[in-house]
Homo-oligomer: A and B are copies of this chain.
């Protein structure tokens, strides 16, 4: 099955303790697509300016990302410049230029409107709501968000939340949205307002999938070299949604596996700048990483004598 993603397609300039990258392709839609397309067909909706290096998106197209919904407008693409310090856990934003993204009004092409899996990446909740008005009863709708929208578009975000099946957010955002410090309580607060599932991402500390009656936890893969954390969350979402779209199975067992695929894809994303590592890997790398996750947490219970 296909997954539709609506998100940013940007140019990133990133500085980490290990190096610098200038004007490389990035954005939530890009990372999501690079990740999900390993597992299922992807339909991408976004906007770029006339400065965008379209040829760098070719490897995504070749891998099954349908770009019929990627508008090109005259003007500059969304540009983000950020820096990570030694702990790599939080980016310091140095510059943001919205460019053509400030006029973004997602138009879902006719042939995308019946996508069974929909991911509303981190954009203005008003636009996320607008996308939902254009699609036809997806099997699963998930959204992401960020501190900026929680603060400036709270009513719209709450209206959106009512209409999605799943929301992904990081621990700080979950606390900000719900005013609950405890993440179990925060997840319950959110589930009372719509979604039947909440994924709380804790960066290098892993991710929780909360459902009404169960909690699943996946650690982050303990990499020796985290090179650039940019896009890890969107790559996680891509692996998660891509696996669900591939299998079409929303059972608890399969959702757990999807979280592991998400974690695996997130762990690849941070190994190089931009989507570089996501473009290099193949099915066997992914299978090996998933097996590594299994070994990382596997234990057998034994009844105490």
Contact = CB atoms under 8 A, between A and B. Distances in A.
A79 B246 CA distance: 59
Contact of A219 (B39, B217, B290, B301): B217
B205 A299 contact: no
Interface string A208-242: 10000011111100111110000000000000000
Given A205-B202, A219-B219, A304-B246, A299 B185 contact: no
Interface stretch (A107-115, A145-153, A252-260): A252-260
This chain: how many copies in the complex? 2
A183 interface: yes
Given A299-B256, A300-B253, A301-B257, A184 B222 contact: yes
Contact of A215 (B183, B216, B287, B296): B296
Interface in A169-221: 181-185, 202, 205-206, 208, 214-219
B217 A222 contact: yes
Contacts of A257: 299-302
Interface residues of A, number: 46
A87 interface: yes
A298 interface: yes
A283 B304 CA distance: 9
Given A206-B219, A216-B296, A224 B182 contact: yes
Given A184-B222, A226-B182, A298 B202 contact: no
Contacts of A299: 216, 218, 253, 256-257, 259-260, 294
A304 B157 CA distance: 35
9 contacts: A183-B222, A205-B206, A216-B296, A253-B300, A257-B301, A260-B299, A286-B304, A287-B304, A290-B301
Given A219-B219, A256-B299, 7 more contacts: A39-B304, A215-B296, A216-B296, A216-B297, A257-B301, A260-B299, A290-B301
